[in-house]
Chain A
Amino acid sequence: MRIVHYVNQFFAGVGGEDAAGTGPELRDGATGPGRKLASLLGDEHEIIATAVCGDDYAAGNPEFAAELVAGARERGAEMLIAGPAFTSGRYGMACARIAAAACEAGLPALAAMHPDNPGLGEAAGTSVVESGLTARQMKDSLERFAAAASKIAGGEELTAQDGRIGPVARSNRFAQHSAAQRAVALVLTRLGGDRDATEIPLPDFDQVTPAAPIGDPAETVFALVTEGGFVPAGNPDRLESARASKWVRHSLEGLDSAQAGSFESVHGGFSTQWANADPNRILPLDVARELERDGAIGRLHGEYLGTTGNGTTVADARRFGVEWAAELRQANIQAVILTAT
C-alpha cells in the first residue's frame, strides 16, 4: 500500500518549540521515525510521503488535517498513519485529527500515542494504537505501530491485543427496570461484597503537571481567559450558554475595563445579573489594567479567550485546553489568569 506518514515539526527535524508554528507541508518519502517504520512495514508497503505540521499550527488551525489529506490523495496515498505522539498533547491531537480526516476521506488510517494523551479523545472512532510514554520507547512503539498498520492495511480490525486504545463509544438504551429499582438491586450486590458491579466505568482522568512558577511578574506577559460565558454584548459568535462546542476570542486593545453594555455573560449556570452589571467580575480587566499601569505585571495580552463551562463534556474541555495552550504559547504568553465561575 502507498502510505503517507504524519509527524510534527520536531520529528521532521524542522525544530523544537521555536518551530511549532510551522504550517503544513508534504515531503517526498519517509522522514525521521518514518524511515524505521518503512523498514518494519516491509516490501508490501511504501511510505510515499511525509506530512508535516507544527504542533501549535495544527492545534490552532484544525483545517491543516483536511489540507494534508487532500495533498496525500493527490499523491496517490492509499492509507495514512500518524505518530507516534507519545504523551505530547498537541502532537497527539494533530495525529488524531489527521487520522480522523483521512478516515472521513475514505482512507484507512491509524494513529499512535500513549493512552494518557489528551488527543485520544479526538480520534472520533479512528483506530489508535498504544505507544510508549516518551521517544525513549521509540523502538517498541514503532514495532507495535508497524504491526498494527499492516493489519489495518489488510482490512482487519485492531483488538486490545494489538494495542488498540481509545474511547469505547457508549450509547443510550432502555434497561428492563427503572434506575431506582436497579439502584436497590445494586445495593444488595454491593452489600454482598461485590465492589466491581457498576453501570458506569470509572473514567481515567489524565493528571496535568502544573507549569513551573513564573519568575518576576513585572517581567511577565499575562493573558486573561475565562469559562464564564464572557462575550461582547449581543454575543456575535453565538457562544452557547450550556454544552459549549466552541470557544471565542476578542480584542481587549484600548479597553480600560469591561464596561456594562459592552460585554455580558451568557453562562447558563448562574444568574448573570451581577456579571452583566459589572462584566469585570467575570473577566477582571479593570484590575489587570491597574496592575499593568502600576508595573506589577509586565503586560496584558491584547485579547482574551473564553468559553462557557456549563455542562461541557470533559472531551470538549480538554480540546479547548490544548487549543488555548497552543494559542497562548504562539503569542509568547508566560502566565494566564483563568477565571472560573
Chain B
Amino acid sequence: MTAQDGTGLTRIVHAVRELELGERTSYSAGCLTVGEQSARELLAHPALAEVRLACAAPGDSARIVGVLDAVQPCSKGPDGGGVFPGLLGPAMPVGRGETHILRGAAVLAAGYLPRAQEAVIDMSGPAAPLSPLAATHNLVVEFTPADDASWEDVDAALRRGLVKVAAHLAEAALEAEPDAVEELPEPGSSSNGKPRVAVVTNLQTQGKFKDVFVYGRSLSGGLPTVITPGELDDGAVVSGQFGHPALKNPTYLHQTHPVVAALRASDELELAALVLCPEPVDQANKELVSAHAARLCAGLGVDAAILSKEGGGNADADVTLKMDRLEEEGIAAVGILGEMAGRDGTGPPLVVAPTKATAMISTGNYDERMTLPACERGLGRERVALLDQPSTDEIVLPTAAIYCVQSTLGWGRLTCAETA
C-alpha cells in the first residue's frame, strides 16, 4: 500500500534556511518570515503578561537557557484536518493525508517553570553538535507570567501557544513548491520476509511539568497503546516534560522520531508498529506496563523491538523491564539508554539493569562535565540557575544540562566507551 491509497501519510517538506521577524508571516525559497503581530496574538493568554520573540540560527554566538518544549512547524492545510490533535485540532486520529512541514525550523519556549532544569542550547561552539535544536532556525518565545497566574496555567498557555504558532508558520508554505515529497506508508501485516521491528517509546508520566500528552491526554494510569508513526508527524504526541534536559524528548523529536526514521530507511528491517507506554512511578505498575507492552508486541507479530525512555534513573527500569519481558516473549530487544556513571565515568552506568536482555545503545554519560565557552547573546533566562552565573559566561556544566544531548529517541551521535 502507498500513502496515496489512504493508509499512510504524504509528507510535503519545505526547507528553512533563513528565519527572520517581520510584519507578515511568509515563506519563500527557504526564507521564513515570522509576522510578529500574528505570533503575539496566537501566544496571547491571560496567564502570560508578556511574550518576547527572538530568532536564533545555527552558528549564532547565542545560548538559549531554560529551554522548555520545541515544536516543528507543520500543517495539514486549511481543509486537511487539525495538527496537534486534542490541543489545537479535534482529538481524533491523525496521520493520514498530507502534512506540510518546515524542516530546519523550530518554535521553542524558554524561561522559568517549576521543576524545569537548566536545559542549555549553544547555537555554536563545541556544544552545538550536542543538541538537535542547535541545527534548526529557532523562533524563541520568552515570557513573563501574569502576576495572578498559576504555573500550571502558564505551562498550558505556552504549550497551546507554541503549537498554534507552529501550525501558523507552516501554513505560510502551503502554496510553495516543496523541496521534497515523502511517502510514508502505514505499517502493515506483511513485511516481504523482512524482520518486523516495533518501536517502543516510553513517555514520562510524573504529573505536573513532567508529563507528555497524547491527543491532549496524559497516558498516566493507562496501559501501552499502539498508534501509527504518521500520527507523530501530525503532532499527536506533545511534550510537557521539563526535567532531565539531556534526556528530554521534546515534541520536535517525537515529530521527527529518529528511530522511526532509521527503520523507515532500512532495507533489511520493517517498521512494524509504534507502541507508546506510560512510565509509572511505582514498581508494580512498571512491571504491569512492561509485561503488557511485551504482550502487545507479541500480538503484533514482531521479531524485535527498539526501546527508549524519558527521564532519569527510575526510567531505566521502564526500559530494562520491558527488554526482559520482550526477550521472554522471544522478541529481540534493543534498549537505548543514557548512562549515569558519575563525573569520572567509573560508576555503574545504569540504575536498573536488564537481567535477561543484553543489547543496549548508549547516548553518553549524564554526569561528565564539559566547558561551554562564553557567547554574545543569552536567551530564555539571564542566569544559569545551577551555577548562578550569567547565561553568556563561560560555564562548566554536566552533560545532563545540555538540551536533548542524550535523548533516547536516538537523534544524536554521543556515546560512551572505556577511556583509552
Contact = CB atoms under 8 A, between A and B. Distances in A.
A273 B349 CA distance: 32
Contact of B358 (A168, A196, A270, A315): A196
A105 interface: no
A167 interface: yes
B258 to A, nearest CB: 4
Contacts of B268: 188
Contacts of A199: 360-362, 415-417
B202 to A, nearest CB: 14
Contact of B359 (A179, A198, A271, A310): A198
Interface in B343-377: 344-351, 353-354, 358-368
A200 B303 CA distance: 22
B342 A172 contact: no
A170 B366 contact: no
A64 B223 CA distance: 53
Q: Which of B197, B258, B350, B413 neighbours the largest number of chain A CB atoms within 10 Å of its CB?
A: B413
A313 B262 contact: no
Interface in B405-420: 408-419
A74 B276 CA distance: 64
B6 interface: no
A269 B243 contact: yes
Contact of B342 (A177, A204, A313): A313
A187 B306 contact: yes
Nearest to B115: A268
Interface residues of A, number: 53
B334 A125 contact: no
A172 B341 CA distance: 11
Given A183-B262, A311-B244, A315-B347, A169 B339 contact: no
Interface residues of chain A: helix, strand, loop or mixed (majority): loop
Contacts of A170: 339, 341, 345-346, 349, 365, 416-419
Given A180-B259, A180-B262, A315-B342, A198 B416 contact: no
Given A171-B419, A174-B414, A198-B360, A187 B332 contact: yes
A176 B418 CA distance: 16
Given A198-B360, A310-B312, A312-B313, A184 B306 contact: yes
B56 interface: no
A190 B363 CA distance: 19
Interface string B189-215: 000000101000000001111100000
A211 interface: no
B129 interface: yes
B321 interface: no
A198 B366 contact: no
Interface in B33-84: none
Contact of A311 (B206, B360, B366): B366
B418 A168 contact: yes
Contacts of B342: 313, 315-316
B363 A179 contact: yes
Given A168-B418, A205-B348, A179 B413 contact: yes
B140 interface: no
B399 interface: yes
Contacts of B347: 121, 167, 313-316
A332 to B, nearest CB: 32
A169 B358 contact: no
B269 to A, nearest CB: 6
Given A183-B334, A199-B361, A178 B269 contact: no
